[in-house]
Amino acid sequence: MKISCDFSADIPFLTTTALFRGCTAEDIQEIAAYLDFQTLIFQKGTRIIEEGNTVTQIGLVLSGSVQIGHYDFWGNQTILSIIPRGGVFAEAYACIPGERLMIHVIANEACKILFIHVSRLFIPCTACNALPKLMQNLVIISAQKNLQLSRRSLHTSPKTIRERLLSYFSQLIAEQGSRHLVLPFNRQQLADYLNLDRSALSKELSKMKRDGLLDYHKNTVSICPHLSPELGHPYAP
């Protein structure tokens, strides 16, 4: 289910996002008038974008989060990423006319999405001085997304489940600066992200807990101190 709504109350938040970095509230209103913004609210589990479709809009998460995934021919899902509040999605496909999506976007929770038409983004406009800032930010975001995909490839390349988990936990320790980690995924999502069977993932986590390597509860994981050399990252106690 989706509901249309106004985005004007979200303009102060938009000035803090990566896509509108360096833009004032007035800049955003100017861009909105030129590019035709649309805001929709989705319930949890709603398919926002389907695989195989084409898009002409960039999505920006105003509240909640969305899940980016892919289904293979046999219906197996791979979760590529979770886009949090302030993040954008479908920017690469929106900028390539007619390109069919290899991914789908699902509301990870109740969320509000700002859709931005990009068809006029690459047309010079002297009346909209803030467009170059938006384009520069979009290029940076696209580059960062490429790095994220590269990181996922690093996590899924090891052959064993334990090696994949250690690779992923290593990245989180570096990002969060602590051995007490908060995972952005539930158990099924983590299995999908690491391209693993959920039951096999759960068994390996249990083995690692019995081996004294870590402890976990729901979406939190605490890495034991003696495991740090294996992970190769310093962390806060």
* Stated pTM of the model: 0.73
* 145 and 71 fall within a common domain: yes
- Rounded Cα gap, residues 215 and 208, in angstroms: 8
Q: With bands split at pLDDT 50, 70 and 90, how would you rate the model's confidence at 55?
A: very high
Q: With bands split at pLDDT 50, 70 and 90, how would you rate the model's confidence at 236?
A: very low
Nearest 10 degrees: Cα torsion 38, 102, 193, 203: 130
Which residues in 43-139 belong to E strands, given as ranges? Answer: 47-49, 57-63, 66-71, 77-83, 88-89, 104-107, 111-117
Number of domains in the chain: 2
Q: Is residue 226 pLDDT above 60, yes or no?
A: yes
Tokens 């539930």, residue located: 186
- Rounded Cα gap, residues 187 and 165, in angstroms: 12
Among 81, 36, 41, which residue's Cα sits nearest to residue 61?
41
| Candidate from 24-33, 80-89, 173-182, 220-229 with smallest mean pLDDT | 220-229
CATH number at residue 209: 1.10.10.10
Q: What's residue 1's pLDDT?
A: 60
Q: Can you read off the two tokens belonging to residue 127?
A: 């009346």
CA 111 to chain centre: 14
CATH number at residue 133: 2.60.120.10
Question: What are the pLDDT digits (tens) for 149-199?
Answer: 888 899 999 999 999 999 999 999 999 999 999 998 899 989 988 999 999
Question: What are the pLDDT digits (tens) for 88-128?
Answer: 999 999 999 899 999 999 999 999 999 999 888 888 777 78
Domain of 170 in residue numbering reads as 158-231
Among 143, 58, 71, 150, which residue's Cα sits nearest to residue 104?
71
* 141 and 192 fall within a common domain: no
Segment 204-212 mean pLDDT:
94
Last-in-domain residue among 149, 173, 191: 149
* 72 and 183 fall within a common domain: no
Whether residue 101 lies inside any domain: the answer is yes
Whether residue 236 lies inside any domain: the answer is no
What is the chain's mean pLDDT, rounded? 89
Last-in-domain residue among 93, 116, 149: 149
Q: Can you read off the two tokens belonging to residue 181?
A: 């980690």
* Percent of the chain at pLDDT exceeding 70: 93
- Rounded Cα gap, residues 203 and 226, in angstroms: 21
Q: What's residue 228's pLDDT?
A: 56
| Candidate from 72-81, 100-109, 211-220 with smallest mean pLDDT | 72-81
Question: What are the pLDDT digits (tens) for 3-20?
Answer: 666 788 999 999 999 999
* 33 and 112 fall within a common domain: yes
CB 164 within 8 A of CB 156: yes
